[in-house]
């Protein structure tokens, strides 16, 4: 199938095998390729299959329509709020998938043309090659609906220059394509009109050779020059504001500690937070945030507690507590043993 040919709309994820190249297209354009249980399952299946395939050398990941991946499908979580464990399998599998992608044994290229937010950006940031355009928009907007930066971003944000990570995590601030590259969250900037041709050239390489791939991408790339008003040109102000210890424990636990931890450790901690938030261990704020943002769309969430000064440290500690061993996120500490940690062995897997 040619790179720009149409794919059946009903297929949530489309996988193509072209000699030694594999192309996976996230294909829910009307939903901005938001992460759904079906998308996670199909994407994981393709990636696991191709990593074991001796003929597969290069994997290209892209999104159909005007988005790469807009993050989690919030309505899935909201609709499952009454049975709080309904979404746990997809959460577990996506966290495991985030680790899988970051330790993948084949060369990967993400062609990120459009929205790349939240968990969707975890399909872009860790790849060896991630290409963005002037139409790419990055953000981790979880704070806007009472959630936390997840899917490995306590690891990725903590490694950004200065306190840029705290800024992005706490404000949901957006970065443009050039800013994404300048911040180190993507590797190359390519004008949108060249993306189709770049994909064809990568496929024609028929190889996973990193030097050859880099050479082709650089041939299409443009130099990154930031606008004067770019937030990245205000690094000193960001550092001054976000180096303070306001929202003390949240900042310390979610971003700063991640600077000295492995991705696996960060994912395990984020998973505990996610599960406890879904289970409303201390608050129903996430569901209230989703209601205000995407259901009633009144943008007036009624937080509980209503202000930071009413937040109790003891309650915050509850959502960081480890689970029983069989309920933790089971990802291996090394690449060699990764297949032993498959999600099907977890307590969250739904029996066949």
Active site residues: 72, 119, 142, 150
Per-residue burial over 297-329, b if 16 or more Cβ lie within 10 Å, else e, is eeeebebeeeeeeebeeeeeeebeeeeeeebeb
Contacts of 202 (CB under 8 A, 6+ apart): 21, 58, 60, 109, 213, 216, 217
Least Cα distance to 148 among 261, 259, 289 occurs for 289
For residue 292, report the phi and psi dihedrals to the nearest 5 degrees.
-70, -30
Instruction: Work out the burial of residue 239: count CB atoms within 10 Å of its CB; fewer than 13 is exposed, 13-18 middle, 19 or more buried.
Output: middle
Residue 348, sorted as left (phi over 0), alpha (psi -120 to 50) or beta, turns out to be alpha
CA distances from 15 to 78, 83, 215, 225, 265 (A): 29, 33, 25, 35, 31
CA torsion, ordered 143, 148, 154, 156, to nearest 10 deg = -50
Q: Kindly compute the dihedral angle of the four CA atoms of residues 130, 337, 320, 157, in this order, to the nearest 10 degrees.
A: -20
- Cβ of 84: how many Cβ atoms within 10 Å? 17
Q: What is the DSSP letter of 326?
A: G
Q: Return the residue matching tokens 């994981």.
A: 44
**Whether 124 contacts 75, CB under 8 Å:** no
Q: How far is CA 52 from CA 48, 90, 257, 344, in A?
A: 7, 23, 35, 18
Tokens of 104: 């993948």
Residue indicated by tokens 């985030």 = 98
Q: Exposed (0-12), middle (13-18) or buried (19+): which is 128, by Cβ within 10 Å?
A: middle
């Amino acid at each position: 199938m040619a790179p720009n040919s149409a794919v059946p709309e009903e297929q949530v994820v489309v996988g193509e095998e072209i000699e030694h190249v594999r192309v996976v297209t996230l294909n829910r354009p009307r939903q901005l390729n938001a992460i759904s249980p079906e998308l996670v399952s199909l994407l994981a299946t393709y990636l696991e299959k191709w990593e074991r395939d001796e003929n597969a050398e290069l994997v290209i990941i892209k999104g159909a329509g005007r988005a790469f991946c807009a993050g989690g499908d919030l309505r899935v979580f909201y609709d499952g709020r009454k049975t709080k464990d309904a979404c746990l399998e997809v959460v577990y599998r996506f966290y495991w998938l985030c680790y899988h992608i970051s330790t993948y044994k084949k060369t990967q290229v993400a062609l990120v043309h459009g929205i790349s937010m939240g968990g969707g950006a975890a399909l872009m940031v860790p790849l060896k090659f991630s290409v963005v355009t002037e139409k790419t928009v990055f953000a981790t907007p979880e704070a806007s609906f009472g959630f936390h930066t997840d899917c490995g971003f306590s690891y990725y944000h903590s490694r950004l220059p200065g306190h840029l990570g705290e800024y992005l995590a706490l404000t949901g601030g957006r970065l443009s394509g050039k800013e994404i590259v300048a911040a180190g969250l993507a590797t190359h900037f390519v004008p949108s009109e060249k993306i189709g041709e770049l994909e064809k050239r990568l496929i024609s390489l028929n190889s996973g050779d990193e030097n050859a791939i880099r050479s082709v991408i650089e041939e299409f790339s443009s130099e990154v020059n930031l606008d004067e008003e770019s937030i990245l040109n205000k690094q000193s102000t960001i550092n001054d504001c976000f180096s303070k210890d306001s929202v003390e424990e949240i900042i310390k636990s979610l971003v700063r500690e991640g600077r000295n931890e492995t991705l696996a450790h960060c994912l395990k901690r984020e998973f505990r937070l996610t599960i406890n938030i879904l289970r409303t261990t201390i608050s129903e704020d996430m569901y209230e945030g989703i209601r205000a943002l995407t259901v009633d769309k009144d943008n007036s969430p009624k937080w509980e507690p209503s202000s930071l000064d009413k937040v109790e440290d003891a309650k915050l500690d509850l959502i960081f507590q480890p689970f029983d061993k069989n309920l933790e996120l089971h990802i291996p500490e090394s690449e060699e043993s990764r297949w032993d940690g498959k999600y099907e062995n977890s307590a969250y897997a739904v029996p066949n």
